[in-house]
Copies of this chain bind each other. A is one copy, B any other.
Amino acid sequence: MSVNQTQIEMLRKLLRHGATERVVRILERFRPAEIADLYGYLSPAEQKQLTTVLFERQLAAETLSELPEHILVELLSNLGDGRISQIINRLAPDDAVFVVSKLDDERVEKILNGLTPLQRERIEHLRAYPAESAGQLMTSEMIRIQEDVCADEAIDIIRSLGSTSEFIFYIYVVNETGTFLGVVPLRRLIVASPDCPVKDLMVPDPIAVYATDDQEDVADITARYDLLAVPVVDDNFKLLGVVTVDDILDVLQEEATEDMYLMQGLSEEDRVYAPVTHSVKKRFPWMILNLLTAFLAAYVVGLFEKSISEVVVLATFMPVVAGMGGNGGTQTLTVVTRGIALGELDYNDGMSAVLKQVGIGIIVGAGIGLLTGLVAWAWKGMPFLGLVLFLSMLVNMSIAGLAGAAVPLMLKALRMDPAMGSGVLVTTFTDVSGFLAFLGLATVFIEYLV
């Protein structure tokens, strides 16, 4: 069931009137994720009231872990430290780490102090892993069984665990020292004969990731092997926890955002819901870098001021050469960066990808250059202007193909993120080479242009 406008209006009215009982009756119809959605439609005061109701009904932790990030951040800033500690106490450790990561640094210590010692220890344990690592994503809520336990005993163990998470579809088999040996899908356990030891049921040589592995690699492995949960081990292959696929879905969305953002030099925190001052602070340094490259292009144009003053129509066509080169370069960049992110380039070698994109640049540049040249000739009645445009478009689109493909591949070779600032690098190349080619050729042919 999805939330509708009438229900929202009703809920807001009831919250304002403090009609707790009736609020609860409405909330009973919804899942935690749906209650979380409701927050988006409420004023901060109403959000706080709703949170109070959820607290009374012990629904707060469950609901708050489903809130969209920006609403969570806002709500946390409106809740007292004690309340937040109460919520975090009730969360799974991986969700708890996520909520803690959204708190202001100065509050973290106070809120951690308000937790039960066990939960505090669990959270600090996870927080010790590198940011965006498998260790921070994993949960230890899983079923770990010794290799010589029988199927029926294993089922008894699952029964005895009672009402913990239902996100349990595998059992994990370890030896007496905790070394990870294999997984048994729950279904196989059901079908097995009761006295069969789990080590005979398990899928051996299991796929696993190290706790320090990057979340992007964990996502790749999950997608590649169609896993629902990836076991996480330490250097000695001791089983530490599992990363579940629901967290992987979030990672994939995050990583796609990161790629798009890095290409444009955006900070990940620069979101539609971020405050203006925050976005401005994040964009400024990048804009200054952009400005430097823009001045580089301006410097190149400045070299040809004499030619432009003799043939002012050159200024008119500058945006055509630079604009088309920039577009071609950005297109190539997008194709190659995405190819790297999706692992499509592991199969080709980089050089053939570069050559291919240069080939596309030459063909598209020749076609588009011809068209541009003919239009310019017809518009301004200057055949040599047409020729210069044709040649410079051909050169610039080829360089666009080269830069668009080579920049991300070189960044990757330097072990940097292939998307990192690649947009500005590529357009700098195409601006500079476009102006050099166009104004340089025009200077060569200047006697036919005046």
Contact = CB atoms under 8 A, between A and B. Distances in A.
Interface of A: 1, 31, 33, 40-41, 66, 68, 70-71, 155, 158-159, 166-169, 185-191, 205, 219, 222-228, 245-246, 248-250, 252-253, 256-257, 259-261, 263-266, 270-273, 276, 279-280, 283-284, 287-288, 290-291, 293-295, 297-299, 301-302, 305, 308-309, 312-320, 322-324, 326-328, 330-331, 334-336, 338-339, 342-348, 353, 356, 359-360, 363-364, 367-368, 371-372, 375, 423-424, 427, 431, 435
A211 to B, nearest CB: 18
A294 B369 CA distance: 13
Contacts of A248: 249
Contact of A312 (B68, B249, B284, B305): B305
6 contacts: A158-B190, A190-B190, A245-B249, A256-B256, A271-B344, A287-B364
A302 B314 CA distance: 9
Given A40-B346, A284-B364, A375-B295, A158 B186 contact: no
B324 A315 contact: no
Given A33-B225, A158-B190, A252-B249, A345 B272 contact: yes
Contact of A364 (B249, B280, B372): B280
A389 B327 CA distance: 25
A315 B313 contact: no
B315 A308 contact: yes
Nearest to A227: B246
A19 to B, nearest CB: 24
A188 B163 CA distance: 9
Contacts of A252: 249, 252-253, 256
Contact of A319 (B158, B190, B301, B336): B301
B257 A260 contact: no
Contact of A291 (B223, B336, B371, B423): B371
A332 B339 CA distance: 24
Contacts of A283: 331, 360, 364
A342 B257 contact: yes
A186 B169 contact: yes
A118 B142 CA distance: 40
A138 to B, nearest CB: 16
A324 B301 CA distance: 16
Given A260-B338, A347-B40, A187 B187 contact: no
Contacts of A345: 272
A41 to B, nearest CB: 8
B316 A298 contact: yes
Given A246-B226, A324-B290, A266 B364 contact: no
Given A264-B331, A272-B336, A287-B324, 14 more contacts: A1-B205, A70-B347, A167-B226, A223-B249, A227-B246, A248-B249, A249-B252, A252-B253, A260-B334, A276-B360, A279-B335, A288-B371, A305-B313, A314-B315
A72 to B, nearest CB: 12
A347 B70 CA distance: 10
Contacts of A40: 346-347
A249 B290 CA distance: 35
A323 B276 contact: no
Given A283-B331, A324-B290, A190 B155 contact: yes
A17 B328 CA distance: 46
Contact of A158 (B187, B245, B266, B315): B187
B335 A372 contact: no
The 7 closest A-B pairs by CB, nearest first: A272-B339, A40-B347, A256-B256, A226-B246, A297-B319, A309-B312, A169-B169
